[in-house]
Structure 1
């Protein structure tokens, strides 16, 4: 999933906590970029505003810190992804059941994918309904 530079710049300006450099957001792993791109795409479709996103992300981070997250930066996009999942469910974009089904499928795909190779979902990654 690609994000245009203008949309990424808007997100970075609206959400100053995003890890970034002079060229835009930076990511430690490919899944972080994908989570970022999904949030930017959903924002672009009007699913949520950046202030709404920022409030939800702040709540997620605060809860994680209360549960012991040391907030050293490595977990930022885990909070981002958790926020994305919660907003998608609360906005009825996808049900929690669908989100869990896809999360389990990604876990299955990751387990079968050799290190360093891109993870791709196949129909076999989804259990029969």
Structure 2
């Protein structure tokens, strides 16, 4: 599979070097998307169309500051539609991160307690 050109995506936050991320989760979602594409989970065309639809659905008042939220929603949509993960599992993981964030003192790294191995 040929490598996608993520810089070709309209609206991608970037500088002269490449994509820029305000939060670590944004870079992780970006990297996961590229990895899943490389492994054949979806075509780059499918990815771009799904992301474009998510951005369009946000409406004309979207100022672009939520770009990676749309990115993550598009990724979750493709992952669940391809049955790579159940939507319930994604929901549980999101809730676990939210809970970890709430109990973490300001200025400390947020860590997810994954519990015992299954």
Q: TM-score when scaled to structure 2?
A: 0.84
Q: 1:22-37 counterparts in 2 under 5 A? A: 22-37=16-31
Q: 1:4-43 counterparts in 2 under 5 A? A: 10-13=5-8, 15-43=9-37
**Aligned pair in 2 of structure 1 residues 95, 71: CA closer, same or farther (>3 Å)?**
same
User: Which residue does 2:89 correspond to in 1?
Assistant: 98
Q: 2:66 aligns with which of 72, 75, 97?
A: 75
Higher helix share: 1
**Which consecutive unaligned segments of at least 5 residues does structure 1 have?**
1-6, 125-129
How far off is 1:10 after superposition?
Answer: 3.0
Q: TM-score when scaled to structure 1?
A: 0.78
- Alpha-carbon RMSD across the aligned residues, in angstroms, is 1.9
SS at match of 2:22: coil
Task: Pick 1 or 2: higher relative contact order, CA cutoff 8 A, min separation 6.
Answer: 2
**Which consecutive unaligned segments of at least 5 residues does structure 2 have?**
none
- C-alpha distance in 1 between matches for 2:109 and 2:7: 26
**Deviations, residues 7-49 of structure 1 (Å, cap 9, x unaligned):** 6x83224x24311112110012222111111111111211111
